[in-house]
Amino acid sequence: MDLRKTQSDVIIIGAGPAGLACAIASLRHGLQVDLIDALEPPIDKSCGEGLMPNSVQALAAIGIDIEKDLSRFESYPLHGIRFLGEHATSEAAFPNGEGRGIRRTILHQILLDRAASLGVRFHWENSVQGITRTVEGTLVHTNRQTLRARFVVGADGPQSRVATWAGFTKANVRSRRIGLRQHYNITPWTSFVEIHWGNHGQAYVTPISSSQVCVAFIANQKIRQPQNALHQFPALERHLASSSCTAPRGAITLGRALNRVTCGNIALIGDASGSVDALTGEGIALGFRQAAALAIALKTNDLASYDQAHRRIMRLPTIMSTSLLLMDKSPFLRDCALSLFQRAPGLFERLLRIHVGHGPSRLFESVATLEPDYPC
């Protein structure tokens, strides 16, 4: 193969939302992009399927008007968050516009269409076998071809092979839980994202169309069947009693951090670069914000700036994830927190403002700890 014909500025390995967002942002900065994935569209993944307002804003920052793009598809407006416990309930509206409940496959199609319109070169059903660094760039070897680029981006998930090949320090896993997603065919009863708290986990409920809701069950133990998990949440079970459902889809949700997310001319993004627990609802937004920061670093040939930006992007969601997991581990703390939120709704509103990036976060930044810089 004549490698000169396959030379590009950036090769992105992994065509999930983070990889596609990075491709879009890079193309908008005038970079030439090749995107590789072992699968072919549509690519699905078990998740809560809600875009909070900060996710919508992060998409806008890379040039995607989600409201305009959603005109072709079904979705559902999201107006806030509601916590429901056994003895207390609290809720707060989003302070900065509405979010959107949207099927993961629809979101993927929107990102895919935009990337294609900008000129990304797709390489579907290409399984990456390894990477080789040379003085002229990095070679990416797949089961079908060899490509070369100035930069390589690993967007290939928490078990990133790119991270392994590049010699990144092993990630520090802070939490590991089981998730199970199922769609229920029912008219949504609320425009709020509901998080039902129980002694064995949470049920994360997101309306995604006028006739369907997505329920993501998250627990510390394996969930054998959605119905077994649903028994832990009587109020939710009553809502869903007469509805039919689709086949469930499972996944692992991790809280993990790496000491660095760049090494030479290789960078990591999305779950490959670290993650927070799914309960935060921040996974998608993190990937979009990272994509915008990484594209600038690629354009300016300054990956060190992306390392710094990545730390800033992850700081607050990591603290929020830790706080929510403490509520999960301690029924006493959870009951106290939910009762406090119910008695003082203004507190819950302020916390939500901070969570979606629309309020001061110095209260949390003072206790944030940064991982030290280690050579990869």
- 226-267 residue pLDDT tens: 888 899 999 999 999 989 888 899 999 999 999 999 999 999
Q: Domain for residue 85, yes or no?
A: no
| H-assigned helices in 246-371 | 283-299, 303-329, 331-343, 345-355, 362-365
**pLDDT at position 315 over 50:** yes
**pLDDT confidence tier of residue 358, bands split at 50, 70 and 90:** low
Of 220, 253, 286, the residue at which a domain comes to its end is: 253
Q: Domain for residue 344, yes or no?
A: no
Q: Are residues 248 and 272 in the same domain?
A: no
CA–CA dist 6, 97 (Å, integer): 43
Q: Domain for residue 17, yes or no?
A: yes
**pLDDT at position 13 over 80:** yes
Q: Are residues 268 and 307 in the same domain?
A: yes
**pLDDT at position 373 over 80:** no
Q: Are residues 167 and 18 in the same domain?
A: yes
Q: Are residues 246 and 282 in the same domain?
A: no
For residue 6, the model assigns a pLDDT of 56
- Over the stretch 37-90, which tens digit does the pLDDT of each residue have? 999 998 888 888 999 999 999 999 999 988 888 888 999 999 999 999 999 999
Q: Are residues 8 and 42 in the same domain?
A: yes
Q: Are residues 202 and 264 in the same domain?
A: no
For residue 339, the model assigns a pLDDT of 95
For residue 234, the model assigns a pLDDT of 93
- Over the stretch 19-37, which tens digit does the pLDDT of each residue have? 999 999 999 999 999 999 9
Length of the chain: 376
Of 253, 278, 310, the residue at which a domain comes to its end is: 253
CA–CA dist 337, 79 (Å, integer): 22
CA–CA dist 333, 119 (Å, integer): 51
Q: Are residues 108 and 56 in the same domain?
A: yes
Segments forming the whole domain that contains residue 191: 180-253
Q: In angstroms, what CA-CA distances link 374 with 90, 171, 250, 309?
A: 42, 12, 34, 16
User: How far, in whole angstroms, is CA 240 from its chain's centroid?
Assistant: 27
DSSP state letter for 176: E
Q: Are residues 213 and 302 in the same domain?
A: no
**pLDDT at position 205 over 50:** yes
Of 253, 276, 310, the residue at which a domain comes to its end is: 253
Q: Domain for residue 91, yes or no?
A: no
CA–CA dist 19, 7 (Å, integer): 19
Q: Are residues 240 and 292 in the same domain?
A: no
Q: Domain for residue 343, yes or no?
A: no
Q: Are residues 324 and 204 in the same domain?
A: no
Q: Domain for residue 334, yes or no?
A: no
Does the pTM of the predicted model rise above 0.85?
yes
Q: For the domain that residue 263 is a member of, what is the CATH number?
A: 3.50.50.60
What are the structure tokens assigned to 372, written together? 């030290």
Q: Are residues 289 and 361 in the same domain?
A: yes
Q: Do 268 and 261 touch, CB atoms closer than 8 A?
A: yes
**pLDDT at position 173 over 60:** yes
Residue of 131, 106, 84, 142 lying closest to 327 (CA atoms): 84
Number of independent structural domains in the chain? 2
Q: Domain for residue 231, yes or no?
A: yes
H/E run at residue 66 = helix 66-69
Residue of 100, 59, 35 lying closest to 291 (CA atoms): 59
Least confident of 186-195, 244-253, 296-305, 353-362: 353-362
Q: Are residues 70 and 140 in the same domain?
A: yes
For residue 108, the model assigns a pLDDT of 95
What are the structure tokens assigned to 234, written together? 């009587």
Q: In angstroms, what CA-CA distances link 209 with 60, 186, 188?
A: 22, 9, 8
Q: Domain for residue 88, yes or no?
A: no
CA–CA dist 201, 229 (Å, integer): 9
